Structure 1
Amino acid sequence: MALPWLRWAVIARRHPSALLLTVQLAGILLYPLMETAPGGRAIFGAFGILVLALALWVVNRGPTSLWVALLLAVPSVILSLLAAALGNVHLQIVAHLLESALYFYTAGSLTAYMLQDHRVTSDELYAAGATFTLLAWGFAFAFSVCQQWYPGSFIAAVHPEQPRTWMELLFLSFSLLSGVGLSDIVPVQPQARALVMLEQFAGVMYIALVVSRLIGLTTLKMSGRKDL
């Protein structure tokens, strides 16, 4: 009975990017339930700690420094727990700021990992997806900090006077990063619009530089096999 679990553990060890990507995608389905369920804030916090732990694991496999990630992750977890226990909004803002920085750093680590050689492995393909979700999460946390610092930064058709929920900000982030622009969330403050423009630029450059490179190397590898 233990053999299937052992097999999955080996796969996870070989492909940490795949595990991170799976957890991130699962979060998209779970976040709406967390927002409405009793104790949803505690569940959201626990899930966030899990994602941070996986992000640290991924960074440890890449060419960047794990210490930088730890300096961002550990205070973030502590401040998140204190903010939840004390109900302190200011601590939550700092925690979100650190989480945003950690996600960006992890995305940079995965990008460096994908660009460090001219081979395309299966883990690097998973890393491409994980990097996209990390960027989306990083900007969503940045949006959260922005609307705390500058109330009314984002409005929507539904309850425009209220702050946007985490799911709304994450939806906006995915819409901008993918380039589809299909979102009912609108940035109205200059600071929010500046962040939106930065994410639009990041999305275009990620596809142009990273994704296109992986596709090109994969195509070249397949062509070489056909020639043989």
Structure 2
Amino acid sequence: MARKITVQNNFYYLTLALVVLLVSSSLELVLRVGWLDLVLQLITTTTFIICLMSLRFDSGWYRFLMTLLVLWVIMAVIKNVFGFYQTDIFMLILMFSFFFGTFKSIARQILLTGSIDTNKVVGSLALFLLLGLMWAIAYLFILEFSPNAFTGMEHKAWGENFANAAYFSFVTLTTLGYGDISPVSPVAQVIVYLEAIAGVFYMAIVVASLVGAASQTNQDKNDE
């Protein structure tokens, strides 16, 4: 990379990687070619690596996330080389665990702690994207066991369905609710309304955290 990832700019790289992952997942819906499932796996792996590089300053979580990345690569190799598509469930579990660990690491660094700067504001956006991604993975996991859990979203390999799940997740997280994809099974309905609650709650927490940190920063400057 042209610039070194530091504690002052790490969330810029991490957020950009998450955005690229989301944008690239939509290519499967546009181009409709099978090999894009493999491309999405490679982009996901790259996203994980950038997340690791951005969070290496948090040594405890770094080791945990590194372990998940190694397991993810092993599962991807088993799936693509040996054709064991049963690994999809394990890959989804690893993805959820990785994004959850990344979320907790970022939250520890920016929410209700220290002074506010542009890097932390961008980090709050990364937290929002990670929330949507975790719920998208939860929906994909539900589809693995209940193919008819949603209307407008059918059961496919997770790479082919990732864009639909992410779209529905962020529509729910922002409480837009267009209705083109809807939960049918009781479990899916519970997960969906919990995401809507989390989206509203997150906005309140982030606004309070950023405003409080900004006020504390201004007060510290005035006291100098």
The answer to whether the superposition gives a TM-score over 0.5 is yes
Who is 2:10 aligned against?
16
Q: Which amino acid aligns with 1:210?
A: V
Structure 2 residue 85 is the aligned partner of structure 1 residue 93: no
What is the rounded CA distance, in whole Å, between the counterparts of 2:48 and 2:179 in structure 1?
Answer: 27
The answer on whether the counterparts of 2:21 and 2:44 sit within 8 Å (CA) in structure 1 is no
Which of 150, 163, 166 does residue 155 from structure 2 map onto?
Answer: 163
Deviation at 1:18, TM superposition (A): 0.8
Give the unaligned 5+ runs of structure 2.
Answer: none
The answer on whether the counterparts of 2:61 and 2:101 sit within 8 Å (CA) in structure 1 is no
Who is 1:55 aligned against?
51
The answer on whether the counterparts of 2:89 and 2:141 sit within 8 Å (CA) in structure 1 is yes
What is the rounded CA distance, in whole Å, between the counterparts of 1:191 and 1:100 in structure 2?
Answer: 18
Partner SS, residue 182 of structure 2: strand
Deviation at 1:71, TM superposition (A): 2.8
Question: What CA deviation, in whole Å up to 9, does each residue of 1:164-208 have, x standing for no partner?
Answer: 621110001111222323352111112212221332232222211
Who is 2:41 aligned against?
45
Structure 2 residue 39 is the aligned partner of structure 1 residue 69: no
TM-score calculated relative to the size of structure 2? 0.84
Gap change, CA 1:21 and 1:183, over 3 Å in 2: farther
Structure 2 residue 20 is the aligned partner of structure 1 residue 26: yes
Gap change, CA 1:202 and 1:216, over 3 Å in 2: same
What is the rounded CA distance, in whole Å, between the counterparts of 1:171 and 1:222 in structure 2?
Answer: 38
What is the rounded CA distance, in whole Å, between the counterparts of 2:175 and 2:66 in structure 1?
Answer: 32
Q: Which amino acid aligns with 2:35?
A: G
Which of 178, 194, 197 does residue 201 from structure 1 map onto?
Answer: 197
Identity rate, percent: 21
Q: Which amino acid aligns with 1:144?
A: L
Partner SS, residue 151 of structure 2: strand
What is the rounded CA distance, in whole Å, between the counterparts of 1:17 and 1:54 in structure 2?
Answer: 10
The answer on whether the counterparts of 2:135 and 2:195 sit within 8 Å (CA) in structure 1 is yes
Cα RMSD, aligned residues only: 2.5
What is the rounded CA distance, in whole Å, between the counterparts of 2:34 and 2:184 in structure 1?
Answer: 32
Which of 122, 127, 141 does residue 118 from structure 2 map onto?
Answer: 122
Deviation at 1:82, TM superposition (A): 1.4
Give the unaligned 5+ runs of structure 1.
Answer: none
Who is 1:105 aligned against?
101
What is the rounded CA distance, in whole Å, between the counterparts of 2:112 and 2:42 in structure 1?
Answer: 33
Partner SS, residue 26 of structure 2: helix
